[in-house]
Amino acid sequence: MANQATYQEPAVPVLLLKTRSIPGDSYYDKFTAAQLPNGRRLAPIFVPVMLHKFDDDGLGMLRSLLREQKISNRPDASFGGMIFTSQRSVEAFAHVTNAEKTAQAPAWPHLQDVPVYSVGPATTRALSAVSQTPPLQVFGEHTGNGEALARYMLEHYGEWYRGRPTKPPLLFLVGEQRRDIIPKTLMDVSLAADRRIEVTEKVIYGTGVMESFPADFENQLRAAAAINRAPSSLPSRWVVVFSPTGCDSMLRGLGMLDEVGKVVPGRRDGKTFIATIGPTTRDFLIETFGFQPDVCAAKPSPEGVLDAITEFETRIALES
């Protein structure tokens, strides 16, 4: 059996490659409260990867649509609903609605009669920051990824506007980097005309890698490696990856890549283990770098990541 951890053993560092959410972060709360096999505790450490900047043109377009009430269930509306698949797009949306709230009518932002689609729990929680009376009608939290959300919307949105032979377009607020699975699915030419849904993507924020990330990540790796702990077959530290952004810098910081950007077999240190938030990031690591992460969360949530790590460590402990 693996060496038994005691309460004095240092907590296992978990490098979360994301910006800590304010005022509270559910990953911090869940991970600090968790207890892994053999009584091991976790110490979440945030290492921001992405630099986000609102797109002024996108914000202006959104502001005009809301002011003119062009997102509604009226036949003459430009859009019949909205789609959100990232917290950053929600933040941009909330930035517009909150800035205008005091100058607008009580019904602002006038979305009482349209469906708002969200890809998962984190995005749905972020939408709660958008104040409206009554609240936004948010659907799709259970889907967890863009492909599942698109399939859900085909049925749900179709039913919402079942009396219309042509469904009103959906407004999809996105970043500069995104997958096209939702518009491809909803606008698939093989769909019957009365099922097909037009999707308009509007870039509302830009994303890049923070210049400080490579150095910040290496510093945290060094600090984690310096922690004294009893020899064990269990991970000495975890890295949780939330998006393709920063994967190159992460793998380089771990010393895994060759000169052409592919993982070199045998370069892993045997102590650092990688978890991904979901299949999109997992597949990106596999297809781009030839790297298979150790675990992939079944659900893109703190609970999903924690369950994946717990299951992995339980299996290792039993095998040791």
pLDDT at 1 over 50: no
Nearest to 58 by CA among 207, 208, 202, 206: 202
Q: Distance between CA atoms of 83 and 36, rounded to whole angstroms?
A: 36
Any idea which residue has 């019957």 for tokens? 192
H helices of the chain, where? Answer: 26-33, 56-67, 87-100, 121-127, 146-160, 181-186, 213-225, 247-253, 279-284, 302-319
Looking at this protein, which amino acid is placed at residue 163? G
- Mean pLDDT over residues 67-76, rounded? 96
Nearest to 236 by CA among 15, 6, 26: 15
- Mean pLDDT over residues 147-173, rounded? 96
Q: Is 138 helix (H, G, I), strand (E, B) or coil?
A: strand
CA angle in degrees (0–180, nearest 5) for 193-194-196 = 65
Both tokens assigned to 318: 């039993």
Q: What is the pLDDT of residue 23?
A: 63
Looking at this protein, which amino acid is placed at residue 55? D
Q: With contact defined as beta carbons under 8 Å apart, do 175 and 203 qualify?
A: yes
Q: Distance between CA atoms of 73 and 78, rounded to whole angstroms?
A: 9
pLDDT at 86 over 50: yes
What's the helix, strand, coil split of the chain in %, to 5? 35, 20, 45
Give the number of C-alpha atoms closer than 13 A to the C-alpha of residue 289, restricted to the C-beta side.
Answer: 25
User: Which position has the higher pLDDT, 8 or 73?
Assistant: 73
Please report which confidence band the pLDDT of residue 296 belongs to, taking 50, 70 and 90 as the band edges: very high
Q: What is the pLDDT of residue 2?
A: 46
- Mean pLDDT over residues 212-223, rounded? 94
**Residue 53 pairs with which residues in a beta bridge?**
206
State pTM to two decimals: 0.66
